[in-house]
Amino acid sequence: MTSTKLGNAREKIHQGALIGLDLAVAVSDAFPGPVKAALGGIKAAVTLIDDIDRNEQNWKDLKDKLEDLAEILAKLLFAYEPNNIPKDLRDNVSSMKKVLDGVLVEIEKAQKRKGWERFVLLKRDKSVIEDLKGRLDYTVSRFNFREQITQSLALHQIKQRDELDWFRERLGNPPQNALELRTSDSCLNGTRESVLSEIYTWSEALDESNIFWLSASPGAGKTAIASTVIRRMNTIRYFFRHTDPATQNPSMFWYTVAWNIANQFPAMQALIVEAMKTAPEALDIRSQFTTLIKLPLESYHGKMTSGGCLQHAVIILVVDALDEANRSDSKQWNELLQTFAEWKQLPSTCRLFMTSRPYGDIRGILTPISIHHILPTTSSEANEDIEKYLVYRFQHVSKKFHLRPSNSAQRWPTPHILSQLVQKAGGLFMWAKAVMDYIDAGLGGDPMKRLEDVQKTSQLARMQGLDGLYQTILQSIYQNLNAEEVVTLQKVLWTIIMAKEPMDTFVLEELLNVSKGALWWIERTLMPVLAQPSNNYLLQSCHQSFTDFMLIPGRSGELGIDKEQHGLFLANTCLDVMNHKLKFNILGLEKSIFNKDIENLQKRILDSIPKSLQHACLYWAEYYCGANVNDETSINCLMKFLQEHLLHWLEALSILTATHQAGPLLRMAERSIQVCTR
C-alpha cells in the first residue's frame, strides 16, 4: 500500500498536479524518522484547526499554509528512496520539525480556550496566526526548500532519462516512425461523427469488451479515424507503416508498445523497466507481451484499484493498419495475433482499439472477442462526409490559385460536378484525397484542367476505383515528360516504392548518383501519389493501395514496377555506393575503441557514413528479390565488394550496431547467386 501511494504521489508530481494533504501524509509511511514525524505533525495541526469555530478565515489561511508545506515536503522527497535521503536534507527536515512542534503547541492552546476566553482573545488569535504563518515562511526560506525542490525534480528527470535510455537500448531501439502522428491524417471536423462517437463511448464503457476492432476496405479512412482518436484522447499508439519495414516487424511490436507506455506513464515505467531487468536476454513475441505488457498492466491496475484511483487507471492502446504487418514469418505473425487474443484477459481498464482490413486470419482472432465495427463505404453518411471533404479542399484550391469560373456567379466546381465526384469515390476517402492531391499539385499544372481529366476518366477506369484513378494520374504525369525524364522519374518512383526504409531527396540523389538538386522537380511532379511530407521530409507512397497498384502487374500494367529488374538495379546501386565509400577505419579514429567510448559518435557517423551509405550497408542484398544475378555488371559489383570491402562493411555494421544483419544479408546474396548457377 505504501509503495502504491508513493508511486501515485510521484506520478502526480511528475505531471505537475496537486497531490493533496492526505496523499502527502500517507507517503510519510515510506519515510521513517523526521520526515514521517514532520508530516504527521502537519496532519495533527490541520485536524485541530478544523475544530476551531472562530476567526475561520484566518485559521483557514494557516491551514492552507500547512498543506502547502506538506506538498513541499513531498516534492523534496520526490527523487529519493527512503534509505538514501541526503544528510543535509534530513537535518533540515528535523529542524523544520522543531518549528512545527512550536506551531502545534500554539494551535493546541487556541483550540482549548473555552467560554469567555474565546471572545476576549479573538484579536490575539489573529496575531498568533500571523506569527505562525511567518514562522512557516521563514522555515521554507531559511532551508532553501524551494531550491531543493528544483534539484529534486531535476534529479528525478535525470534518473528517469537514464532508466529510459537503458530501457530503449535494451529493447533494441524501437522504431519511432511507428509512433508518429500527422495532424493532416485526421478526420476533417464534422465528418465521421457517428463512428467516432461510438469509439468514445466504448472507451468509457468498462463493462463492455476491452477490444474495439474497426475494419474496412482499403482507402475507406481507417487511419484518419485512428489518428483522430489519438489526437482527442490520451492513448498509446502504434502504426504499422507500409512504407517502413521497421514498423512492420512483428517481433518489435510489443517492445515498442512497452517503450511507449514507460515513456508516457511514469507510474508504469518502474514496473516495466524492472520486469525487463529480470527478463532473459531474448524474448519471443508472447514472452514480450506477458513480461512487459500483461503482468505490469495487471500490477498497475491492482495498485490503482487499492489506492482508490481506478478512474485514472484507463490505458488505451491504438493499433492502426494491423494488416500491413510483415507476415513472411508465419510463426511470428500467428504469435502476434494470439497476444491480441490474450489482451481480452486483461482488466477492463486496459483498452485496445485496432484497425485493419478484414482479412480472414485477423477476423478469426478478433471477431469472437471484440466489438467489431465494419466501416461502410456505401452509406449516405460516408457520401455526405466525402462531400464535406471535397468542398473543404476545393475551397482551399480556389483561394490558393485565385480560381473563378467563367460565370462568376457560379461556384467552382458546380454542385453537379461535386455530386459526380462523390459518386465516383464510392465511399473511399482515399479516392477523394488522391483526386484533390492531384488537382492541388503545387507547381504542377492547371487545377481546372486536372479536374476535367478526372471527369473524363474512362468507364473501365471508373469501375476500377482507385486503380483507375492512379492510372489517370500517372498517365497525365508521363505525357508531359520527354523520354529521358520518364526514365529518371520512373527510377525514382520505383525506388521510393521498393525502398526498404523511406529516404529523403538528398539520400536518393546520393544513392542514384545524380547531381545535387537534380531531383527537385520529381518530388513536385509526384506530389499526387506521395504522402504529405512530415518534418523528416521522407518520400513515401501516399497509401498502401498505391504501393499494391505499382507492385501487382495485373493492376498497373505497363505503369507498374518490374520488381526483379529494379530490385537488381537497387542491389547493384547499393554495392556501387559501398565499393566507392567504404574504407578501413572509416571514422578516422586514432586507436581501436568500443563504440561507447567514442566521443560525438553520432556526429562522426553522419560525417563519415552518410545516410545513403548506411542504407546500402543495411539492405543491399534484400533488393535481390530472388532475381538471377547472372549478368556481368552484377557479378563484377558483388565480387569487388566481397574481395575488397567485406571487412570494411563489417566494420561499418559494427559502428551502426547492426552486425547481426551480416549473416542474413550474405545468405540472401548466396541464394540469388545459386539460382543463376543451377
Q: Residue 103 has what pLDDT?
A: 81
Element (H, E) at 368: none
Mean pLDDT within 275-297: 93
Question: Residue 556 — very low, low, confident or very high, per pLDDT cuts 50/70/90?
Answer: confident
Q: What is the mean pLDDT of residues 266-278?
A: 86
Q: Is the pLDDT of residue 678 over 50?
A: no
How far is 42 from 402, CA to CA, in rounded Å? 69
Per-residue pLDDT averaged across 488-503, rounded?
91
Q: How far apart are CA 672 and CA 178, in angstroms?
A: 31
Q: How many residues does the chain have?
A: 678
Q: If you compute the radius of gyration of the chain from its CA atoms, what whole number of angstroms results? A: 32
Instruction: With beta carbons less than 8 A apart as the criterion, state whether 228 and 196 touch.
Output: yes
Cβ contact 646:662 at 8 Å: no
- Residue 461 predicted with pLDDT over 90: no
Tens of pLDDT, residue by residue over 216-256, are: 888 889 999 999 999 888 889 999 987 778 889 999 999 99
CATH superfamily of 172-374: P-loop containing nucleotide triphosphate hydrolases (3.40.50.300)
What CA–CA distance (Å, rounded) separates 430 from 30? Answer: 56
Helix, strand or coil, per DSSP, at residue 629: coil
Coil/strand/helix, residue 78: coil
CA 81, CA 92: separation in Å to the nearest integer? Answer: 17
What is the rounded average pLDDT for all residues in the chain? 82
- Which residue reads 541464394 in cell numbers? 671
pLDDT bucket at 18, cuts 50 / 70 / 90: very low
Cβ atoms of residues 213 and 292 within 8 Å? no
HSE-CB of 443 using CA atoms within 13 angstroms: 6
Nearest to 310 by CA among 335, 339, 347: 347
pLDDT of residue 122: 56
**Cα–Cα–Cα angle for 170, 3, 210, rounded to 5 degrees:** 65
The answer to which of 99-113, 201-215, 240-254, 571-585 has the lowest mean pLDDT is 99-113
Query: In the prediction, which pLDDT does 148 show?
Result: 61
Of 517, 657, 530, 501, nearest in space to 177 by CA:
501
Question: Residue 139 — left, alpha, or beta (φ > 0 → left; ψ -120 to 50 → alpha)?
Answer: alpha
Other beta carbons less than 10 A from residue 241's beta carbon = 24
Spatial CB neighbours of 263, under 8 Å, sequence gap ≥ 6? 164, 269
Enumerate the domain spans of the chain. 2-168, 172-374, 380-498+511-557, 563-677
- pLDDT surpassing 90 at residue 388: yes
pLDDT above 70 covers what percent of the chain? 80
Predicted confidence band at 613 (pLDDT cuts at 50, 70, 90)?
very high
**pLDDT confidence of residue 495:** 93
Question: Does residue 636 or residue 97 have the better pLDDT?
Answer: 636
**The Cα angle at residue 525 between residues 521 and 530, in degrees rounded to 5:** 115
Q: With 0-12 CB in 10 A as exposed, 13-18 as middle and 19+ as buried, what is 172?
A: middle
Question: Predicted confidence band at 553 (pLDDT cuts at 50, 70, 90)?
Answer: confident
Inter-residue contact 99 to 139 (CB < 8 Å): yes
> Could you count the other beta carbons within 10 Å of the beta carbon of residue 303?
19
Check if the beta carbon of residue 26 is closer than 8 Å to that of residue 5.
Answer: yes
